[in-house]
């Protein structure tokens, strides 16, 4: 079952007109380094102005790693401060600036670009069998934009910070804050264009550049997840950009539409903000779902259970995700009817998420499972995402939300989804595709250890926060009543473990770049077009355009069931 029929000429004439290069099999491990994308050009300029999607992915990865550790440092200081009830480590203003910085950096400069702009950028063309994204220069521009945006945020950091919270609620941000609101908002505004450009590129690429034979229901679910993510990026981000522009003008010129002193309504800003920021949560989690699907199928040697349901689930999350933003405003004076509608839709959106969890679990059935590091991360993702998703039902319920809104319960909930879910998936994906990206194997034992440590550290950090929130501890508190201390201490202790677990991969990944064993083209024996080219891939990905003649995740041959009919390609499709 060869996925690809290429210049070697076995079978149909897909690549007849193309320039044929030596095939991977002939090159094997000892292939000429000169052909890889990493060595296709030398010097700083060949990187900073590259239009190769793989190099841009590396640039993104380096950028967001820097931001991840800045945001992580802020989180460390926050957890240290909260070790005791009194505000003794940093000042109240310092604390407010820390959590704002943590939120702004982690949301816009880590989570949103994390999987799409690194793994997505690297893998999308490879998985589709394309030579590059549709608009390579636009892709480069996206990266430059996020660097410029990051410069704004670093400027804010150096000059003394901003203390509005990542939500920038008016009128605090427009009138009362003393921080560098305009510069921070400008940074996010610019990063928005980066996000939009990336999303546009991904959608057009998926539509127009699939290899021959790759029809829509043969596309890997990672690509589907990136596609659904890109839809949200395109339709939600402009609203945020506009809302932040209004905030900047209101703060600079003293005219605007949010401050009640100017005749405006602060709740309008909340609506505009959450119209972006709720869908943005799905920007942050959908790509993680895609990564987990790739990993689970590979390490269980199974086709994904219910491929089409997985696709529909992704798309319905992306669409319904646009209509639940009001559940962030249950206690902001929204009418009862609005509250009911948003609560209802928030329950509805849990259904596709549940479908995905069940399908991943069912995929394991009758598998041939190996618990390598990527699989450990993926299993961790499923567990933590299940908890994050289920606690989403709590905050979707009106009476419970009235109690736990703006408490640590919400903090724990979204960290379970963002950190337990997304970051686990990101690390899983990083391990899974590390051999493809760098051509080196990472040390497996260390990686498994780090994965387990991350799982335990994470739960220890954030599970106590559920209890804190249920007990009534409000978020964004610099000082707190002493009855909450036990849980804060537990949480801070967990954060130490979690911090160590994040540093480990940084160490052994760097080590593996130099000392890791060279990876073969397909070390996991995985399906998917990206494994059919060299590790690391040549500049234009494939010697010639591949041709696809099988379903995604073809890990085991379709079986002729006792009934007699061959359940080949239309497996799992709902009978209409």
Partner 1 sequence: MEGLSFFPKEASTFAPRTDAVFFTLLGLSAFMTLAVAFLLVYFCTRYRRGSKARHGGRVSKLIDLEFEAGWSLIPLFIFLFLFTWAAGQEFTLFYPPKDALEISVVGKQWMWKTEHPGGQREINALHIPIGRPIKLDMVSQDTIHSFYVPAFRVKHDVVPGRDNEMWFEAKEPGAYRLFCAEFCGTDHSRMIGTITAMPPEDYARWLDAQPTGETLVAEGRRLYHELGCSGCHEAGGSVRAPPLHGLYGGPVPLEGGAVVTADERYVRDSILRPKSQVAAGYKPIMPSFQGSIDEGELQALQAWIRSIGDGGKEG
Partner 2 sequence: MSDPQALAEQFDDLGQQRHAAELGMWIFLATEALFFGGLLLGYAVYRHLYPEAWFAAARETEILIGTANTAILLTSSLTMWLAVRAGEEGRRDAVTLALGLTATLGAFFLGLKAYEYYLDWDNSLVPGLRFAFEKADPEHAEIFYYLYFFLTGVHAVHLTVAITAVLVVLFLVRTGRLAYQQSATLTVLGLYWHLVDVVWIFLYPLIYLPGRSQ
Q: In whole angstroms, give the CA distance from residue 459 to residue 15.
A: 51
Rounded to 5°, angle at Cα 267 from 266 and 271: 125
242 binds, among partner 1, partner 2, none (CB under 5 to 8 A by kind): partner 2
Interaction pattern, residues 457-476, with partner 1; x per rule: CB under 8 A: ----------x--xxx-xxx
Closest CA to 305 of 571, 1, 576, 575: 571
**Binding at 275: pick from partner 2, partner 1, none (beta carbon under 5-8 Å per type):** partner 2
Select the binding partner of residue 12 from partner 1, partner 2, none (C-beta < 5 to 8 A, by kind).
none
Residues numbered 264-323 forming contacts with partner 1, rule: CB under 8 A: 264-267, 300-301, 303, 305-306, 309
Q: Which does 472 bind (CB under 5 to 8 A by kind): partner 2, partner 1, none?
A: partner 1
Among 31, 251, 405, 540, the residue binding partner 2 under the rule CB under 8 A is 540
Q: How far is CA 199 from CA 117, 368, 473, in A?
A: 9, 36, 38
Site residues (CB under 8 A) for partner 1, limited to 507-566:
556, 558-559, 561, 563
Binding mask 75-94 for partner 1 (x = CB under 8 A): ------------x----xx-
Cβ atoms of residues 454 and 424 within 8 Å = yes
Q: Measured from the CB of residue 360, what is the shortest distance to partner 1 in angstroms? A: 9
Q: How far is the CB of 366 from partner 1 (least distance, A)?
A: 6
Mapped onto helix, strand or coil, the DSSP state of residue 437 is helix
* Burial per residue of 87-97, b for 16 or more beta-carbon CB atoms within 10 angstroms, e otherwise: bebbeeebbbb
Q: Which does 467 bind (CB under 5 to 8 A by kind): partner 2, partner 1, none?
A: partner 1
Q: How far is the CB of 562 from partner 2 (least distance, A)?
A: 44
Burial classification of residue 427, based on how many CB atoms lie within 10 Å of its CB (0-12 exposed, 13-18 middle, 19 or more buried): buried
* CB nearer to partner 1: pick between 87 and 238: 87
- Among 66, 73, 268, 348, which residue interacts with partner 2 (rule: CB under 8 A)? 268
* Binding track over 209-248 against partner 2, x by CB under 8 A: x------------------------xxxxxx-xxx--x--
Q: What angle do CA 260, 100, 157 make, to 5 degrees?
A: 115
SS3 of residue 454 by DSSP = helix
The distance of Cα 297 from the centroid of its chain, to the nearest Å, equals 19
CB 465 within 8 A of CB 494: no
Among 15, 264, 279, 339, binds partner 2 (CB under 8 A): 264
Among 40, 148, 154, 257, binds partner 2 (CB under 8 A): 257
Q: How far is the CB of 259 from partner 1 (least distance, A)?
A: 8
Can you tell me whether residue 550 is helix, strand or coil?
Answer: coil
Residues 6+ apart with CB under 8 A from 552: 218, 219, 220, 221, 303, 304, 307, 527, 528
Cα 13 from Cα 1, distance rounded (Å): 17
Q: How distant, in Å, are the alpha carbons of 56, 123, 191, 230, 335 from that of 203?
A: 17, 14, 19, 6, 37
**Between 52 and 294, whose beta carbon lies closer to partner 2?**
52
Restricted to residues 29-48, the positions that interact with partner 1 (CB under 8 A) are: none
Q: Which residue is it, tokens 């190099």?
A: 55
130 lines the binding site for partner 2 (CB under 8 A): yes
Among 98, 106, 134, 355, binds partner 2 (CB under 8 A): 134
Interface residues with partner 2 (CB under 8 A) are 130-136, 196, 200-201, 203-205, 207-209, 234-239, 241-243, 246, 249, 253-257, 262-265, 268, 271-272, 275, 540, 545
């Amino acid at each position: 079952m060869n996925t690809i029929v290429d210049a070697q000429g076995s079978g149909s004439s897909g690549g007849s007109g193309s320039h044929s290069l030596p095939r991977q099999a002939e090159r094997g491990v000892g292939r000429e380094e000169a052909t890889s994308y990493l060595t296709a050009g030398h010097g700083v300029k060949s990187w900073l102005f590259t239009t190769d999607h793989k190099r841009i992915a590396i640039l993104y990865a380096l950028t967001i790693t820097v931001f991840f550790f800045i945001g992580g440092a802020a989180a460390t200081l926050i957890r240290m401060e909260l070790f005791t009830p009194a505000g003794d480590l940093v000042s109240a203003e310092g604390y407010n600036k820390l959590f704002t910085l943590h939120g702004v950096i982690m949301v816009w400069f880590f989570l949103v670009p994390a999987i799409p702009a690194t793994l997505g950028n690297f893998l999308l063309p490879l998985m589709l069998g394309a030579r590059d994204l549709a608009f390579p220069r636009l892709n480069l521009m996206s990266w430059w934009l996020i660097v410029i945006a990051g410069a704004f945020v670093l400027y804010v950091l150096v000059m003394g910070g901003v203390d509005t919270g990542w939500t920038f609620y008016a009128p605090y941000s427009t009138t009362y804050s003393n921080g560098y609101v305009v510069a921070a908002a400008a940074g996010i505004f610019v990063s928005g264009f980066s996000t939009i450009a990336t999303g546009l590129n991904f959608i057009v690429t998926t539509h127009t550049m699939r290899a021959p034979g790759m029809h829509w229901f043969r596309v890997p679910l990672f690509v589907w997840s990136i596609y659904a993510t890109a839809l949200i990026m395109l339709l939600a981000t402009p609203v945020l950009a506009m809302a932040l522009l209004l905030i900047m003008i209101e703060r600079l010129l003293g005219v605007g539409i949010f401050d009640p002193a100017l005749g405006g309504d602060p709740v309008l800003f909340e609506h505009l903000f959450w119209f972006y920021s709720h869908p943005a949560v799905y920007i942050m989690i959908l790509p993680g779902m895609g990564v987990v699907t790739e990993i689970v199928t590979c390490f269980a040697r199974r086709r994904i259970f219910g491929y089409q349901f997985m696709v529909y689930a992704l798309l319905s999350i992306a669409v319904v995700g646009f209509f639940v933003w009001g559940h962030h405003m249950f206690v902001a004076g929204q009418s009862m009817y609005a509250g009911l509608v948003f609560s209802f839709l928030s329950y509805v959106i849990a259904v596709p998420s549940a479908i995905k969890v069940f399908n991943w679990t069912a995929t394991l059935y009758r598998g041939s499972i190996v618990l390598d590091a990527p699989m450990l991360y993926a299993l961790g993702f499923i567990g933590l995402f299940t908890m994050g998703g289920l606690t989403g039902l709590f905050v979707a319920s009106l009476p419970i939300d009235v109690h736990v809104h703006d408490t640590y319960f919400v903090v724990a909930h979204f960290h379970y989804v963002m950190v337990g879910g997304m970051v686990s998936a990101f690390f899983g994906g990083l391990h899974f595709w590390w051999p493809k990206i760098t051509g080196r194997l990472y040390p497996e034992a260390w990686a498994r250890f780090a994965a387990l440590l991350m799982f335990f550290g994470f739960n220890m950090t954030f599970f106590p926060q559920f209890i804190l929130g249920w007990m009534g501890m409000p978020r964004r508190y610099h000082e707190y009543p002493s009855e909450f201390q036990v849980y804060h201490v537990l949480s801070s202790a967990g954060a130490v473990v979690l911090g160590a677990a994040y540093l480990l991969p940084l160490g052994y990944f760097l080590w593996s770049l130099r000392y890791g064993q060279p990876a073969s083209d397909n070390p996991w024996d995985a399906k998917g077009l990206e494994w059919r080219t060299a590790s690391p891939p040549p500049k234009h990905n494939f010697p010639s355009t591949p041709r696809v003649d099988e379903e995604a995740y073809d890990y085991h041959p379709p079986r002729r069931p006792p009934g007699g009919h061959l359940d080949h390609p239309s497996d799992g499709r709902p009978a209409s």
